[in-house]
Structure 1
Amino acid sequence: MLLIPGVVLLAPVLLTALVLRYRRARAEMRYEFLLKLAQSGVAVPPMLPGEATQPPSDLRRALVLLAGGIGLSLTLLVLPLHYHVGRPLAELWGLGLLPMALGLGYLTHWFLSRRGGGHG
């Protein structure tokens, strides 16, 4: 009975662990390369040591929050669990509205800033 929820909860943890392991291995390879460059006497370019970082994107935040809110609401609606003296967990579906509203706000900001509007 606990096998399915365990697998559902364990999958994102394992996926995150794999991504972090990959990033760590890539960083180690980059630093080993920089160490070999420094040991051989070659000047290290200033842009090489760090990874290029992208500026924060309101569209990405909006999509993540919208998907998270929708997923949370649907999950609470579908789960056949009871939380208090026979009350179904489906009554808590509204908890997903907060991330959905935040996502809509970010989406609106992204859209208005892209159009050049919203700045007076």
Structure 2
Amino acid sequence: MEILPVLIIPFAIMLPPVLITALVLRYRRARAEMRYRFLLQLAEAGAALPATLPGEPAPQDNDRRRALVLLAGGVGLALMLVALPIEFPRGHPVAQLWGLGILPVMLGLGYLCNWHLSHRGSAHG
């Protein structure tokens, strides 16, 4: 009966984020369907369609936000792995895996450079 907690605990931990994601995606889909149904009714009525779709979010420059999230997540992952006192069965500590945090840090730096270069280019151009 020791296998039961091994299966239930990860399932219980992963279920809420999956449910929240499913609910958010369902809400967005329903909202988009309502928007397109409205546009279809406008087109059927012969009204001129607007140049921008109503309710469509304007494209934003999210590179800075993505950069900060990835930088913080990468540094947090690396620090968490260094702080964990767990060892693998062969005696290797989990702290040796701190390098896994470098990937999100480097992606964050790339996004930050992209944001800086595009922001600088739009200010001068």
TM-score normalised per structure 2 = 0.66
Asked if 1:106 is matched to 2:111, the reply is yes
Secondary structure of 1:43's match?
coil
Q: 2:20 & 2:75 partners in 1: Cα distance?
A: 21
SS of residue matched to 2:31: helix
CA contact (8 A) 2:35 2:55 kept: no
Q: Which residue of 1 aligns with 2:28?
A: 23
Q: How does 1:7-18 map to 2 (within 5 A)?
A: 7-18=12-23
By how many angstroms is 1:108 displaced? 4.4
How far is the alpha carbon of 1:35 from its aligned partner?
A: 1.8
2 CA distance for matches of 1:9 and 1:90?
A: 24
Deviation at 1:115, TM superposition (A): 5.4
Determine the structure 1 residue equivalent to 2:41. Answer: 36
Alignment RMSD (CA, Å):
3.1
Q: Aligned to 2:99, which of 69, 94, 119?
A: 94
Which segments of 5 or more consecutive residues in structure 1 lack a partner in the other structure?
A: none
SS of 2:56's partner is: coil
Query: Normalising to structure 1: TM-score of the pair?
Result: 0.69
CA distance in 1, matches of 2:86, 2:13: 15
Shift of the 11–73 alpha-carbon distance from structure 1 to 2, 3 Å rule, reads: farther
Rounded to whole Å, the distance in 2 between the matches of 1:55 and 1:62 is: 14
Q: Which of the two has greater strand per residue?
A: 1
Report the secondary structure of 2:53's partner residue.
Answer: coil
The aligned residue for residue 65 of structure 2 is 60
Letter aligned with residue 92 of structure 1: L
Query: Offset at 1:103?
Result: 1.5
In 1, distance between residues paired with 2:30 and 2:76? 32
Once the two structures are TM-superposed, the CA of residue 32 in structure 1 deviates from its matched residue by 1.3
Comparing 23-32 with 58-67, greater Cα deviation is found at 58-67
Change (3 A) 1:68 1:111: same
CA contact (8 A) 2:82 2:95 kept: yes
